[in-house]
Structure 1
Amino acid sequence: MFDEVLVPTDGSDCAAAAVGNAVDIASHYGATVHVLSVLDSRSQENAEHQARDGTRAEAVVDEVTEEMVDAGLGVERTVRTGVPYEVILEYVDEAGIDLVVMGTHGRTGVERYLLGSVTEKVLRRSDVPVLTIRDAEDGSVHYPYESVLVPTDGSAAAGAAADVGLDLATRYGSELHVVSIVDALSMGVDVRSELMTDALEASAREAVDGIAERAGGAVGGVETAVAYGSPYKKLRRYVEENDVDLVVMGTHGRTGLERYLLGSVTEKLVRTSPVPVLTVRTAEAGSE
């Protein structure tokens, strides 16, 4: 599934955290890692400034490349100039990348719960899965992934994410957690009837059981759950209470948001999750 893994890096702590995850995934899949640093053409004030940034970018790429080589991985290294998110997406298409691994923010420095602009734009536009990693304040490391959470609402986006989550859990021998959150209150007062509530729960249970059945004995155990409440809050709590190492989810659910929107639940988890979040876009959502 993952043969070509891209790691954009700017030398920040968040990017360094992403490198560790990329090494681990590439080692499990026997993938080639592409290390890319982008000089922002919009900030190149003069030749001296450009040369200084270029030298630094080369040093960052060399350092990450050495880490990949030490891990026994095949590596492609590149330094380019342009608008960072545009260069990253162009490289994805050009090199046949299967997975992008990046920090949630870089050297520009943003508030704790905000995404860096480059990461946000890549997430919204990438047609391949994107794994985002926050720089943990306590220095915690969550790989190798022993516990993988796949949230589902039965949508096509959730199904595409489940395919990836199942593959990862199988490759790692991880325990797989499949969870569906019924957010009845957000659908209006009329759905609070016992009949509608039962229908929503039955649909959620069907979605969860379907993924669990597909996992079979290929993973290191399966846990399922259906709960009521705010999907984001419930999922965040589930991650913390069940020692989840990785969340794999679609970029949008049944609400059918526009191409460049992630979906509120996914976006909130990406911004605040204490563990890496891998977002997967459906083929339909990725097409024009």
Structure 2
Amino acid sequence: MFQRCLICTDFSDGLQRLIRFVPALAAGGFTQIVFVHTVPLWEEGDVPRVDQERIDAARARLEGAAAHAPGGVEMIIEVRSGKAAEIIPKLLEQYHSDLILMGTPTRSLMQETVFGSTTQSLTRNTKSPLLILRPQLVSVYREEELNLRCQNLWRSLLIPYNGSPSADYLIERLKGLIAKDPDHSLTQCHLVWVVTSGGRRTEQDSYQYQMAEGKLAAVKTDFAAMGVAVETVVRTGDPLQEIMTVAMEMDISAIAIAYQSRGALLDWTSPSFANEVLRNSWFPVLFFSPKE
């Protein structure tokens, strides 16, 4: 589905390991891979300045990626001085990247509010999708496991769907990518609708079940016509908890989520299902940036 990506690493997220798995990433469909690392300005003294020693050391760590690049894959190393949240959007524009790959740890709402987040900034300020991998998982994969993961980053997606504008926006983004993907790298989707209920199942719940099943069936038909196998699931309960449960039960590569408009993401302290998934899911998350 994607061909040109930025792999952004701070060397604590485990993504620097991917320099040894460029052939596997190429097998997953990438034709251009840009490894990105940012070095903060040296703040000692009165005037902040570029820390050239750290830049050279970081570049040396990443240079090994070029040796692993197969034919037909453009490999680029970018080590810049400054803030990641400011540099990454510029590199996206420069290289016309269609995906940002980041390693973002799970965080509580308080941690997000106090410490901030590069991911949070990018969801506000970029149009390219983000694929978020958890450092705790990437760091402990054995090489055989990581090799397989790199080849199947979005092979099987779990798609939370509830008929909302954001959910419909997600479906349209995915359908557009599938239509442009001759290799059909997305082969399976699990469409999951969670009916919120106050407790005991009522007649209203039964109606919501039927409505959910009908709308999921329509989306399933669209995906099936594009050659994607689809399983539909309707659950009752807390949306985040049920989605995580289904994710553990199914054989998935990532959870796909989206917002329809940027306004909903301006304040991550507001309650939001997508925000909770971005902060708390242990599974990889494919997040589609909102429309302008």
Q: TM-score range by the shorter chain?
A: 0.7 to 0.9
Q: Does 1:182 align with 2:195?
A: yes
When structure 1 is superposed on structure 2, of 132-141 and 75-84 the one drifting more is: 132-141
Structure 1 range deviating more: 236-245 or 120-129: 120-129
Evaluate the alpha carbon distance shift between residue 58 and residue 248 of structure 1 in structure 2; reply closer, same or farther with a 3 A threshold. Answer: same
Q: Residues 181 and 227 of structure 1 are in contact (CA less than 8 Å); yes or no, is this contact kept in structure 2? A: yes
Q: Name the SS of the counterpart of 1:154 in structure 2.
A: coil
Aligned to 2:160: 151
* CA shift digits 1:154-202 (9 cap, x unpaired): 22322232245454697225322111112244xxx9xx8623x344334
Aligned AA for 1:181?
Answer: V
1:55 aligned partner: 56
Q: Give the whole-Å Cα distance in 1 for the aligned partners of 2:243 and 2:274.
A: 10
- 2:219 maps to which residue? 211
Deviation at 1:273, TM superposition (A): 2.6
1:95-150: per-residue Cα shift (whole Å, max 9, x none)? 32211011014xxxx86996772233223432211000002165264452443211
1:246 aligns with 2:259: no
Given that 2:158 and 2:255 are in contact with CA atoms closer than 8 Å, whether structure 1 keeps it comes out as yes
Letter in 2 for 1:147: S
Q: Specify whether residues 44 and 3 from structure 1 end up closer, same or farther in structure 2 by C-alpha distance, changes over 3 A only.
A: farther
SS at match of 1:207: helix
8 Å contact 1:14–1:133 — kept in the other structure?
no
Taking a change above 3 Å as real, the CA distance of residues 19 and 61 of structure 1, as seen in their structure-2 partners, is closer
Calculate the TM-score normalised by the size of structure 2.
0.76
Which one-letter code corresponds to 1:127 in the other structure? K
Whole-angstrom CA distance in 2 between matches of 1:38 and 1:209: 45
Q: Say which SS state the counterpart of residue 172 (structure 1) adopts.
A: coil
Task: Give the structure-1-normalised TM-score.
Answer: 0.77
Compared CA separation, residues 9 and 138, structure 1 to 2 (3 A): closer
Q: Is the CA contact (8 Å cut-off) linking 2:31 and 2:74 kept in structure 1?
A: yes
Contact 1:162–1:248 (Cα < 8 Å) also in 2: no
Q: Aligned residue for 2:44?
A: 45
Paired residues in the alignment total 270
Deviations 1:203-254 (A, max 9, x none): 422332222111115446321111111111001111111122211111479x
> Unaligned stretches of 5+ in structure 2?
none
**How many Å separate the matches in 1 of 2:44 and 2:238?**
47
Shift of 1:258: 4.3
1:86 matched to which residue of 2?
A: 86
User: Which residue of structure 1 aligns with residue 184 of structure 2?
Assistant: 171
- Choose from 233, 242, 254 the match for 1:234: 242
User: What is the alpha-carbon root mean square deviation over aligned residues?
Assistant: 3.5
Does the C-alpha gap of structure 1 residues 18 and 226 become closer, same or farther in structure 2, counting only changes over 3 Å? Answer: farther
CA distance 1:146–1:93, change in 2 (3 Å)? closer
Change (3 A) 1:157 1:281: farther
